[in-house]
Chain A
Amino acid sequence: MTLTFIIDALVTVIGITTPILLAASGELVVEKSGVINLGVEGMMLVGTIAGFAVTFETGNPWLGILVATLAGATAATIFAVLVLSLGANQVATGLALTIFGIGLSSLIGSNYVGIAIDPVESPFPDALANDSFWRVIFGHSPFVYFAIVLVLAIGWFINKTRAGLVLRAVGENDLSAHSIGYPVIAIRYAAVAFGGAIAGIAGADFSMVISPLWAEQMTAGRGWIALALVVFAGWRAGRLLAGAYFFGVLMALELYAKASGHAIFPSQFWAAMPYLIAVIVLALISSRDGKDGKAPACLGKPFIPNG
């Protein structure tokens, strides 16, 4: 009973954490390049409908995931054209992208409301995936394993590879990177498109695994938690992984409180917790003003070459 409960809890936490972890990993790369894209929620929603619709129409979930990835990247590229090539304000454009994503996904999704698809299942053999104990490790969708590998790979990329060093350089001081001879705008385009692609996958995780149907605004603000998580993690991949699961626990408590009605505090309290904790932690980090947890110096600033 207790063991089953713990395993159930862990499986729930891991499942609901994954889209946040994915979206935040993508946004981490974007922000490391010095661009802040507040459109994560919108790009995720575009991913939810793209993944769902293609999977439903073709019956091929892998094609669904691919199209969700491309849809997220396309939405991000629109954002990139506006802020990188046309110099639009990043914050305003990012918010607009979210609103655009909500509207577009609702428009396309209106034909798909109330339909269900088969959820994408664990890539491991049933014996392991359905085992009452081992499912805690092997019983997840491919998204879960992909997210963990991705965030570790991003951490390695940013800190250990030359391309990652160049990415950080562009986010740290775009003018210097330009004068040394790095293509600042091209690198930022690539980073933004990558972030969008991953946000699209995060969206597909919602509509293809977590609740394998489509509903308007089904991401329910998780894109914003992903954005907060990047800051919360101090722009570091390792802390991003830990922070994502921490938020996951709080979100699971919300679900538990809702379902059981006795989790010390009402479910609304647990629903507010991730945001509350993010604010408190951010305040602590900024008052400590230590070296760690510093934002990329050029974050959100448009690049204007000086010759």
Chain B
Amino acid sequence: MSVAPRLELIDVSKRFPGVLANDRVSLSVKPGEIHALLGENGAGKSTLVKMIYGIQAPDSGSILWEGQEVRIAHPRAARRLGVGMVFQHFSLFEAMDVLENIALGLDGSVSRKQLDAEIRLVMEKYGLKLDPRRQISTLSVGERQRIEIVRALLLNPRLLIMDEPTSVLTPQEVEDLFKTLRRLASEGCSILYISHKLHEIVELCERATILRGGKVVATCDPRQETARSMGEMMIGSDLRDPARGQVSVEGPVRLSVRDLSLPKPDDFGVALEQISFQVKGGEIFGIAGVAGNGQNELLEALCGEHLADLHTVIEVDGAPVGRSGPSGRRKHGLCSVPEERNGHAAIGAFSLSDNAILTARSRMGFENQGFIRKAGADEFAADVIKTFAVKTLGPDALAGSLSGGNLQKYVMGREIMQSPGVLVVSQPTWGVDAGSAAFIHQALIDLAAQGSAIVVISQDLDELLRLCDRLSVINLGKLSTPRPVGDVSVQELGLLMGGSHGASVHDAGGIHAA
């Protein structure tokens, strides 16, 4: 076979101030191949695809497109070659409708009517469901991703780059996505699939290039590998499963919530309806659900950002805290980590030490009659950094300078090291690499083993199934009856999660806990 690879990178390097993001990376993608690009956060995956898509230019090395050397100066040039990209953080415009969003991603000018017809054609061909006239702000995450996919497909791409596409989808949506991708590949479109979800790569991809520290460390056939073996190549050491010791959930009830109802905070929010549950000491309670079904509202109600009304009972160790704000609840031992780490859990422009003062001041005694004990905070921050292996210059580094995974380890560590009686966390490992995720999971398990009650709100079912003792699903602001993890299948959970907003759910399955 002498068919030139669709895309070939030879010794591509890219340096940013202070880091070599890509160090002589070589990679080739054949026509019709689904090729995985695998690596931890900060391994250089994003930089690499940005160079392929023309957002950044390589410092050295060459890019070959179907055997010809090319210089991709901007995304328009990439699209002209036939490169399509589906971003991890969608590049969508909330206040516009689907049609306008798609038109913005096309380079030529077409009439609305013509575009509408083309979109319907592509959607029919690939089994994608979407109403072109809807406004983006009314769409679910899965639907938003479909817009990005349709936008890319309208250009008849010969290489489609998917950047962490499944992190926000339900199992059913993932299955639909995979069908679309396989269909595309069978028609000759190459796919570069970026992920750190190993079981997905095993299921979907034919070849994988593994990056670590900006270098290619291995190329393999995922079908011949296991999730575990690839994970070890990715982090460069043995992957430890979180060790769940003896599961004995016989402690006292530490968190009790009865009849928690809250009206919608705004147009795009979700009302909480009659939520009740209890968590015992030593127990990890999981709340699954598709994004935007009330998770943020629930977290804010539990941590005290929204006070409960007078009919609601929220008790920590028997003490009513429903009418206390976050600081009051922390004094009672209820600590929390919200989903958005930069801007909600931590202030990017503050040092790590100052960020420690923000949530740990009263529990750790950094505050004395209104004055701050800076030395204590520095010491505590240094302790968190050391214990949680946070890669940073030290307690004085700005929170915003840390990579996502490192900042997440820091904010998790900051709460866990206050030894809270109750810990509520949302998306604890969102966008965090496998090594750090395993570390955070272990820390949660260890905290539970010390007798704390833990609530984990997550969209990642694998995570919940691995971590939790009991699970509920939140859908449209209502919580399903909690079930022990051993008693419930992924398919059932998928159904409870409401499928893909009205799309069929009969073909659930195929995704299994790794």
A residues whose Cβ falls under 8 Å from a Cβ of B? 162, 165-166, 168-169, 172-173, 175-177, 179-182, 289, 291, 294, 296-297, 307
Can you list 27 residue pairs at the A/B interface with Cβ under 8 Å? Answer: A162-B103, A162-B109, A165-B96, A166-B104, A168-B96, A169-B93, A169-B96, A169-B104, A172-B93, A172-B94, A173-B94, A175-B91, A176-B91, A176-B92, A179-B75, A179-B91, A180-B91, A180-B105, A181-B74, A181-B75, A289-B266, A291-B135, A294-B95, A297-B94, A307-B50, A307-B55, A307-B56
Q: Is the interface of A mostly helix, strand, loop or mixed?
A: helix
Give chain A nearest CB distance to B400 CB in angstroms: 12
Q: Interface digits, B87-120 against A, CB 8 Å rule (1 contact, 0 not)?
A: 1001111111000100111000100000000000
Give chain A nearest CB distance to B99 CB in angstroms: 10
B76 — which chain A residues lie within 8 A by C-beta? 181
Q: Is B44 an interface residue (CB 8 A)?
A: no
Nearest opposing residue in chain A for B92, CB measure: A176
Complex Cα spacing A296 to B93, Å:
10
Complex Cα spacing A172 to B101, Å:
11
Most buried by B among A165, A169, A296, A297: A169
B87 — which chain A residues lie within 8 A by C-beta? 179
Nearest opposing residue in chain A for B46, CB measure: A307
In the complex, given contacts A162-B103, A181-B74, what are 4 additional A-B residue pairs having Cβ atoms less than 8 angstroms apart? Answer: A165-B100, A169-B96, A180-B91, A289-B266
Give chain B nearest CB distance to A78 CB in angstroms: 29
A173 — which chain B residues lie within 8 A by C-beta? 91-94
Q: Is B267 an interface residue (CB 8 A)?
A: yes
Q: Is B213 an interface residue (CB 8 A)?
A: no
Given A162-B103, A169-B104, A289-B266, A179-B95 contact (CB < 8 Å): no
Q: Which 4 pairs from chain A and chain B are nearest by CB? A: A181-B75, A176-B91, A172-B93, A162-B109
Complex Cα spacing A297 to B136, Å:
13
Complex Cα spacing A101 to B73, Å:
41
B55 — which chain A residues lie within 8 A by C-beta? 179, 307
Give chain A nearest CB distance to B454 CB in angstroms: 33
Give chain B nearest CB distance to A181 CB in angstroms: 3
Complex Cα spacing A179 to B74, Å:
10
Within 8 A of A (CB), among B401-436: none
Within 8 A of A (CB), among B275-322: none
- Name the contact of B95 in the complex, choosing from A166, A175, A182, A297 (C-beta under 8 A): A297
B266 — which chain A residues lie within 8 A by C-beta? 289
B96 — which chain A residues lie within 8 A by C-beta? 165, 168-169, 172
Q: Is B326 an interface residue (CB 8 A)?
A: no
A176 — which chain B residues lie within 8 A by C-beta? 90-93
Q: Is B54 an interface residue (CB 8 A)?
A: yes
Complex Cα spacing A307 to B104, Å:
20
Give chain B nearest CB distance to A58 CB in angstroms: 42
B50 — which chain A residues lie within 8 A by C-beta? 307
Nearest opposing residue in chain A for B85, CB measure: A179
Complex Cα spacing A181 to B56, Å:
11
| B92 near A165: Cβ-Cβ < 8 Å | no
Give chain A nearest CB distance to B364 CB in angstroms: 34
| A165 near B56: Cβ-Cβ < 8 Å | no
Complex Cα spacing A176 to B86, Å:
12
Complex Cα spacing A296 to B96, Å:
11
Nearest opposing residue in chain A for B103, CB measure: A165
Complex Cα spacing A297 to B268, Å:
15
- Name the contact of A181 in the complex, choosing from B54, B95, B109, B135 (C-beta under 8 A): B54
A162 — which chain B residues lie within 8 A by C-beta? 103, 109
Give chain B nearest CB distance to A112 CB in angstroms: 46
B94 — which chain A residues lie within 8 A by C-beta? 172-173, 297
Complex Cα spacing A168 to B135, Å:
15
Complex Cα spacing A219 to B104, Å:
40
B90 — which chain A residues lie within 8 A by C-beta? 176
Nearest opposing residue in chain B for A305, CB measure: B55
Q: Interface digits, B29-55 against A, CB 8 Å rule (1 contact, 0 not)?
A: 000000000000000001100100011
Complex Cα spacing A179 to B93, Å:
12
A294 — which chain B residues lie within 8 A by C-beta? 95
Complex Cα spacing A166 to B105, Å:
10
Complex Cα spacing A173 to B266, Å:
20
Q: Interface digits, B204-219 against A, CB 8 Å rule (1 contact, 0 not)?
A: 0000000000000000
Nearest opposing residue in chain A for B135, CB measure: A291
Give chain B nearest CB distance to A163 CB in angstroms: 9
| A180 near B104: Cβ-Cβ < 8 Å | yes
Nearest opposing residue in chain B for A179, CB measure: B91
A169 — which chain B residues lie within 8 A by C-beta? 93, 96, 104
Complex Cα spacing A79 to B50, Å:
32
Give chain A nearest CB distance to B21 CB in angstroms: 10
Nearest opposing residue in chain A for B267, CB measure: A289
Give chain A nearest CB distance to B306 CB in angstroms: 18
B267 — which chain A residues lie within 8 A by C-beta? 289
Complex Cα spacing A165 to B74, Å:
20
A289 — which chain B residues lie within 8 A by C-beta? 266-267
B104 — which chain A residues lie within 8 A by C-beta? 165-166, 169, 177, 180, 182
Give chain B nearest CB distance to A179 CB in angstroms: 5
Give chain A nearest CB distance to B59 CB in angstroms: 14
Nearest opposing residue in chain B for A296, CB measure: B95
Complex Cα spacing A172 to B74, Å:
21
Complex Cα spacing A289 to B90, Å:
25
Give chain A nearest CB distance to B340 CB in angstroms: 16
Nearest opposing residue in chain B for A162, CB measure: B109
A182 — which chain B residues lie within 8 A by C-beta? 104
Give chain A nearest CB distance to B457 CB in angstroms: 27
Complex Cα spacing A297 to B87, Å:
20
Nearest opposing residue in chain A for B100, CB measure: A165
Nearest opposing residue in chain B for A289, CB measure: B267
B74 — which chain A residues lie within 8 A by C-beta? 181
Complex Cα spacing A169 to B94, Å:
10
Complex Cα spacing A181 to B54, Å:
9
Most buried by B among A179, A181, A291: A181
B100 — which chain A residues lie within 8 A by C-beta? 165
Complex Cα spacing A179 to B79, Å:
12
Nearest opposing residue in chain A for B47, CB measure: A307
Complex Cα spacing A179 to B161, Å:
14
Nearest opposing residue in chain A for B104, CB measure: A169
Complex Cα spacing A307 to B46, Å:
10
Q: Interface digits, B58-85 against A, CB 8 Å rule (1 contact, 0 not)?
A: 0000000000000000111001000000
Complex Cα spacing A289 to B113, Å:
31
Give chain B nearest CB distance to A89 CB in angstroms: 16
Complex Cα spacing A180 to B101, Å:
11
Complex Cα spacing A177 to B270, Å:
29
A172 — which chain B residues lie within 8 A by C-beta? 93-96
Most buried by B among A179, A180, A289: A180
